[in-house]
Structure 1
Amino acid sequence: MVRGGLALLGVLHLSWGVPAVLAPRWFFDNFPGFGLSWTAGYPPYNSHLMTDVGGAFLTLGAMLLAAAWLDDRRVTAVVLGGLLIFSTVHLVFHLAHAGTLTSADLLASRTVLLFGVLGPGALLMLDRHPRA
């Protein structure tokens, strides 16, 4: 279950990182997709920032996939610990800043960001139990 969670999180982060690096303006205007544009709710657009965010997502994605592949508890703990730091800082920022998001979008984005903290935390806790 932990390896599957790592792989899922890895693919998810890569799916965000690739467009942010290759098409930063598109990413800014359209993330997370599905007709929503949460990132654009925090103007102004900055291509350097979007490319750096994409680089961070690509790095996290690669590390998460490596942790899934290696299946080593120490690697998993380090990678998930790093993701928890990133995700917690990201959540705290968005709890303090609403940008120009509507109430519904703000609630939805904060909920997704909360799961971005709870998911890796749950995987860390699951990985602490002895393996069969």
Structure 2
Amino acid sequence: MTDRRWRRLLVRGGLVLLGILHVSWGVPAVLAPRWFFDNFPGFGLSWTAGYPPYNPHLMTDVGAAFLTLGVMLLAAAWLDDRRVTAVVLAGLLVFSTVHLVFHLAHAGTLSSADLLASRGTLLLGVLGPGALLVLDRGRRA
């Protein structure tokens, strides 16, 4: 298999993975904003609740943003167009970078371990789309 083909498969797979993640966060935030606020990211953790107070409008808007990003990521994977992929990943990179910068400046009420874990996860949210942009650019050459 050629280098271009591997890059294409990795980029499309990454788009699908990121799309599914964002949709899986967006749907509960839109349909059950209080539950999302109290329970995200799950597994006994509640990172969003570490930034009170609860606001149903804000949680629904966050869910809509996640859902929109997820649909766009899945559409980019489906269309397999380099320009669409670049635009969608660049948009996600902007969103993820602004999100990370906020959380680097604000600790909320999270414990040290939760704060470190949440910031690490948000950093991966920047590095992942950035790596996919680099891979996608490489498949153009």
TM-score (norm 2): 0.92
User: Is 1:60 aligned with 2:69?
Assistant: yes
Alignment of 1:1-132 (within 5 A): 1-130=10-139
Could you tell me how far apart the structure 2 residues matched to 1:82 and 1:104 are? 29
Offset of 1:129 from its aligned partner? 1.1
Matched residue SS, 1:130: helix
Deviations 1:81-119 (A, max 9, x none): 000000000000000000000000000000000000000
Unaligned runs of 5+ in 1: none
Mapped to 2, the partners of 1:93 and 1:32 lie a distance apart of 18
Higher normalized contact order (CA 8 Å, seq sep 6+, divided by chain length): 2
Larger radius of gyration: 2
Q: Matched residues in 1 for 2:91 and 2:139: separation?
A: 22
Letter in 2 for 1:75: V
| Mapped partners of 2:59, 2:134: distance in 1 | 32
Equivalent pairs counted in the alignment come to 132
Between the two proteins, what is the percent identity of the paired residues? 88
Q: Which segments of structure 1 move beyond 2 Å, counting only runs of 4 or more?
A: none
Structure 2: unaligned runs, 5 residues or longer:
1-9
CA displacement at 1:131 relative to structure 2? 5.8
CA distance in 2, matches of 1:32, 1:130: 34
